[in-house]
Structure 1
Amino acid sequence: MRIENNKVFISGATSGIGLAIARRLHALGNQILVNGRDEKKLNETVNELKGSIAIKADLSLEEERLRVAELLKNEHPDLNWIINNAGLAYTHSLQNGANAFELAKNEINLNYLSIIHFTELLLPQLLGLENSAIVNVTSIAAFRGHASIPTYSASKAALQNYTNVLRDSLAEQENVRVFELIPPLVNTPFSKEIGGQEHGIPPEEVADELLTALSLDQYQVPVGMTKQFFQS
Structure 2
Amino acid sequence: MKTRILLIEDDENITELVRYNLERADYKVDAVADGEDGLYRASEEAPDLILLDWMLPNLSGLEICRQLRRNAETQNIPIIMLTARADEPDRIRGLETGADDYICKPFSPKELIARIQAVLRRLRPALAGHELAFEDIKLDSVSHRVTRGGKPIQLGPTEYRLLRHFMENPRRVFSREQLLDSVWGHDVYVEPRTVDVHIRRLRKAINVDDAPDYIRTVRSAGYSLDNYN
Q: Same fold (TM over 0.5)?
A: no
More helix by share: 1
The structure with higher relative contact order (CA 8 Å, sep 6+) is 1
TM-score when normalising by structure 1: 0.40
* Bigger Rg, which one: 2
